[in-house]
Amino acid sequence: MFTPDVNRGGRYQTGEKGNERYYDSFDKALAALQAMPVAKWRRPNSEGNWGIVSAVDWRRVDRNTLKPLS
Protein backbone atom coordinates (compact mmCIF):
# COMPACT_ATOMS: atom_id res chain seq x y z
CA MET A 1 0.00 0.00 0.00
CA PHE A 2 1.27 3.48 -0.83
CA THR A 3 1.21 5.31 2.50
CA PRO A 4 2.70 8.57 3.80
CA ASP A 5 5.46 6.68 5.62
CA VAL A 6 7.06 5.16 2.48
CA ASN A 7 9.22 8.23 1.96
CA ARG A 8 12.96 7.86 1.99
CA GLY A 9 14.85 10.83 3.32
CA GLY A 10 11.65 12.87 3.11
CA ARG A 11 11.07 12.08 -0.58
CA TYR A 12 8.80 9.66 -2.43
CA GLN A 13 10.22 7.69 -5.35
CA THR A 14 7.83 6.69 -8.14
CA GLY A 15 8.08 5.14 -11.60
CA GLU A 16 9.94 2.44 -13.49
CA LYS A 17 13.50 1.55 -12.54
CA GLY A 18 15.85 3.90 -14.34
CA ASN A 19 13.06 6.41 -14.98
CA GLU A 20 12.08 7.31 -11.45
CA ARG A 21 10.79 10.64 -10.23
CA TYR A 22 11.10 12.13 -6.77
CA TYR A 23 8.45 14.07 -4.85
CA ASP A 24 8.69 15.97 -1.58
CA SER A 25 4.93 15.72 -1.07
CA PHE A 26 2.81 12.60 -0.51
CA ASP A 27 -0.09 14.23 -2.38
CA LYS A 28 2.03 15.02 -5.45
CA ALA A 29 3.49 11.50 -5.47
CA LEU A 30 -0.01 10.02 -5.15
CA ALA A 31 -1.26 12.14 -8.06
CA ALA A 32 1.67 10.95 -10.19
CA LEU A 33 0.94 7.32 -9.30
CA GLN A 34 -2.73 7.73 -10.21
CA ALA A 35 -1.72 9.00 -13.66
CA MET A 36 0.46 5.94 -14.43
CA PRO A 37 -0.89 2.95 -16.40
CA VAL A 38 0.58 0.74 -13.64
CA ALA A 39 1.56 2.65 -10.52
CA LYS A 40 5.09 1.86 -9.31
CA TRP A 41 6.94 3.16 -6.28
CA ARG A 42 9.74 2.23 -3.91
CA ARG A 43 9.09 0.95 -0.43
CA PRO A 44 11.09 -1.06 2.09
CA ASN A 45 10.68 -4.82 2.31
CA SER A 46 10.58 -6.74 5.60
CA GLU A 47 14.39 -6.52 5.84
CA GLY A 48 14.48 -2.79 5.19
CA ASN A 49 15.72 -2.99 1.59
CA TRP A 50 14.07 -0.53 -0.78
CA GLY A 51 12.58 -2.01 -3.94
CA ILE A 52 10.00 -1.15 -6.57
CA VAL A 53 6.48 -2.49 -6.16
CA SER A 54 3.52 -2.27 -8.55
CA ALA A 55 -0.09 -1.51 -7.69
CA VAL A 56 -2.59 -4.29 -8.23
CA ASP A 57 -5.70 -2.22 -7.54
CA TRP A 58 -6.80 1.08 -6.05
CA ARG A 59 -8.82 1.50 -2.88
CA ARG A 60 -9.67 4.87 -1.43
CA VAL A 61 -9.02 5.05 2.30
CA ASP A 62 -9.37 7.80 4.86
CA ARG A 63 -5.90 9.20 5.53
CA ASN A 64 -6.58 9.20 9.28
CA THR A 65 -6.96 5.40 9.24
CA LEU A 66 -3.57 4.71 7.64
CA LYS A 67 -1.07 3.03 9.93
CA PRO A 68 2.70 3.13 9.51
CA LEU A 69 4.28 0.05 7.94
CA SER A 70 7.00 -0.12 10.58
- 32-50 pLDDT, tens per residue? 999 999 999 999 999 999 9
Q: Kindly provide the b/e burial profile for residues 16-38, where b requires at least 16 CB atoms within 10 angstroms of the residue's own CB.
A: eeeeeebbeebeebbebbeeeee
On the question of pLDDT at 9 being above 90, the answer is yes
- Lateral strand order in the sheet of 50-54: 21-23, 12-14, 40-44, 50-54
| Distance of alpha carbon 13 from the chain centroid | 7
Please state, in angstroms and rounded to a whole number, the distance separating the CA atoms of residues 13 and 47. Answer: 19
On the question of pLDDT at 60 being above 70, the answer is yes
pTM of the shown model = 0.85
